[in-house]
């Protein structure tokens, strides 16, 4: 299995605006397969806050959901 390393520079290729540090953390957690509850527990924030940051991230990535975002990330990282 190949490990994909995500960096803010690579994310810039697929976002419409700058990604905040917190949004980047959410992306790392999504890539790791964590649920909203798990992300909240890991980051010491509420599930509502997790959902807020993820929705902003998806909007910037022009992604309709997590699967779409992951697909875009994989395409950028493997190209």
Structure tokens at 16: 């419409």
Residue 45, H or E segment:
none
2: in domain: no
Q: How many helices (H) and strands (E) does the chain have?
A: 5, 0
3: in domain: no
* Domain total of the chain: 1
Q: Is the pLDDT of residue 2 over 90?
A: no
> What count of residues does the chain have?
79
Q: Is the pLDDT of residue 18 over 70?
A: yes
> What's the farthest any 2 CA atoms get from each other in the chain?
35
Evaluate whether 14 touches 53 at the Cβ level (below 8 Å): no
pLDDT in tens, 27-79: 989 988 999 999 999 999 999 999 999 999 999 999 999 999 999 888 887 77
pTM to 2 decimal places: 0.83
Tell me which residue range forms the domain holding 37.
8-78
Mean local confidence (pLDDT), 11-25: 83
CA–CA dist 68, 66 (Å, integer) = 5
């Amino acid at each position: 299995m190949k490990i994909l390393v995500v960096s803010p520079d690579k994310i810039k290729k697929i976002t419409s605006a700058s990604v905040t540090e917190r949004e980047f953390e959410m992306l790392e957690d999504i890539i790791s397969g964590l649920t909203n509850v798990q992300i909240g527990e890991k980051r010491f924030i509420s599930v509502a806050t997790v959902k807020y940051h993820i929705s902003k991230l998806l909007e910037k990535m022009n992604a309709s959901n997590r699967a779409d975002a992951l697909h875009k990330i994989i395409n950028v990282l493997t190209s």
